[in-house]
Amino acid sequence: MKTIFNTCLAQGSSQPADASQHARPVLLSALALLASAFALPAQAQQPQPVQMTQPDASSLRLRFNNPTQRPALLTVLDITRSYTLLNESHREPAYGTLLKFNTLPSGRYVVALHIGANRYRYTVQVDAKAPGGTTIAVRETTTHRVESGLATAAL
Phi, psi of 79, deg, nearest 5: -70, -35
The model's pTM is 0.62
pLDDT tens-digit map of 82-107:
999 999 999 999 999 999 999 999 99
- Report how far apart, in Å, the C-alpha atoms of 131 and of each of 57, 88, 107, 123, 134 are: 12, 33, 16, 22, 8
pLDDT tens-digit map of 33-67:
555 555 544 444 556 789 999 999 999 999 999 99
Asked whether residue 135 carries a pLDDT value surpassing 70, the answer given is yes
Banded pLDDT at 27 (limits 50, 70, 90): low
| Among candidate residues 113, 70, 52, the one with its CA nearest the CA of residue 88 | 113
Q: Which fold has domain 50-144?
A: Immunoglobulin-like (2.60.40)
